[in-house]
Amino acid sequence: MTRKDYLQTISKSKKPFIIYKSEKGFDLYTNFSKKIILTKNNIHNFVNKIDKKSKNKKTDLYIGFFGYEILNNLIGVKLPRQKGHNFPKGIFYKPETIIGLKKELKYENTNFDNLNDKFKINISKKSYNKIFKKFKKKIKLGQTYQIKICTKYKNKSKIDPIDFFCRLAKTNLAPEAFLVKDRNFSIISCSPENLITKKGSNISTKPIAGTLKKTKRLNKYKALNFFNKNKKETKEHNMIVDMERSDLSKICETGTVKIFKEKIVEEYKDLYHYVSLIGGKLKEDISNLDIIKAMMPGGSVIGCPKISTLQLLNAQEKESRNIYTGSFGYIKFNGDMRFNIIIRSILNYKNFSEISVASGVVVDSNSNHEFNENYIKAKALMDLYK
């Protein structure tokens, strides 16, 4: 059976599976022996239980996601009652089969779905401007220094998630791309941002803060020059890097946290990103739960300082973020882990799709620019429905 045939077969089988971007291509995880739906009551036990295992088989891991709400609960930040559709707060799976796939995913969509390409946005430009002005006042009062306003694009469509993911991987491949397909939902993501890579006692994070729309006149060098000269983008990036260094410093040995790559540019289908890479050496007594509580939710998609900014966001937002700005990845039984930040993602639940995006607001931000930046981030995903 070829790898192409395997994607066709697993699609027809209706069994749950996960595809995650790897260094050599993609890894497909399936034949799950356990499925753990997280709640605020079982999350501590789940993470601590993994921490106590030490086997070395390839399948000795749990793979899945933490939603935004449960990560807030984990660090003691309360959310008010919000609109939502009762989607799980987090799910992890124990795979018994892992198959390596090549970089070029091949799949033939035999469903020929009649997709709905019309999306409704949950916040109008006028409403966005009101929220923007409110948060600018909070910044001037010193209650936050940077904050991310979330907008959602929604529609009703029955989709073929493998087809979506394969097309996304071909046109907008991202280093943290993943697909989760279960009985009544799928998550398709071209996330570019790694939040945690832990191997042994070494840990790193790669914050992204800064977005520029691609044009025919731009290249990576010109984009870097733009970011370096733009005070707003540089200020935003510096604040997030400082916060991620602070988060790492809580769990790393003194003096080991360093910036390995500072303010580089990464290129994607519709935009350029301003990126840094930070790492350190973990203290001896740090657990996996300590790491997750220190690093999540990822600061680059929240704002800073993290706790007070989360409180401001949660008081303002009327809808649940669900998976958005949560984290997807795996925890191995030996303690190693890899997690991204769930952005640039489609959540399709009971044939309803939602795409959530956010842009950063600092004291010298422009409302129209930030609103339009959100659309740019969502466009590559909405294009899949055409």
Structure tokens at 219: 């290249």
Provide the residue-wise pLDDT of the chain in tens; the chain has 386 residues: 455 578 888 888 889 999 999 988 999 999 999 999 999 999 999 998 886 556 678 999 999 999 999 999 999 998 888 777 789 999 999 999 999 998 788 888 876 667 888 999 999 999 999 999 999 999 999 999 889 899 999 999 989 999 999 999 988 888 999 999 999 999 999 999 999 999 999 999 999 888 888 888 899 999 999 999 988 888 889 988 999 999 999 999 999 999 999 999 998 878 899 999 999 999 999 999 999 999 999 988 888 899 999 999 999 998 999 999 999 999 999 999 999 999 999 999 999 999 999 987 888 889 998 999 899 889 989 999 98
Q: Of 89, 97, 98, whose CA–CA distance to 46 is shortest?
A: 89
Q: Check: CB of residue 128 under 8 Å from CB of residue 371.
A: yes
Q: Check: CB of residue 311 under 8 Å from CB of residue 154.
A: no
For the whole prediction, is pTM greater than 0.85? yes
Sequence letter at residue 5: D
Q: Of 363, 321, 375, 348, whose CA–CA distance to 116 is shortest?
A: 348
Domain 3-104+123-385 has CATH 1.10.3720.10: no
- For 315, counting Cβ atoms within 10 Å of its Cβ (0-12 exposed, 13-18 middle, 19+ buried), the class is exposed
**E strand or H helix at 93:** strand 90-101
84-to-139, 181, 349 alpha-carbon distances in Å:
29, 20, 11
281-to-4, 134, 197, 323 alpha-carbon distances in Å:
41, 40, 12, 29
Q: Of 379, 134, 121, whose CA–CA distance to 268 is shortest?
A: 379
Structure tokens at 8: 């066709």
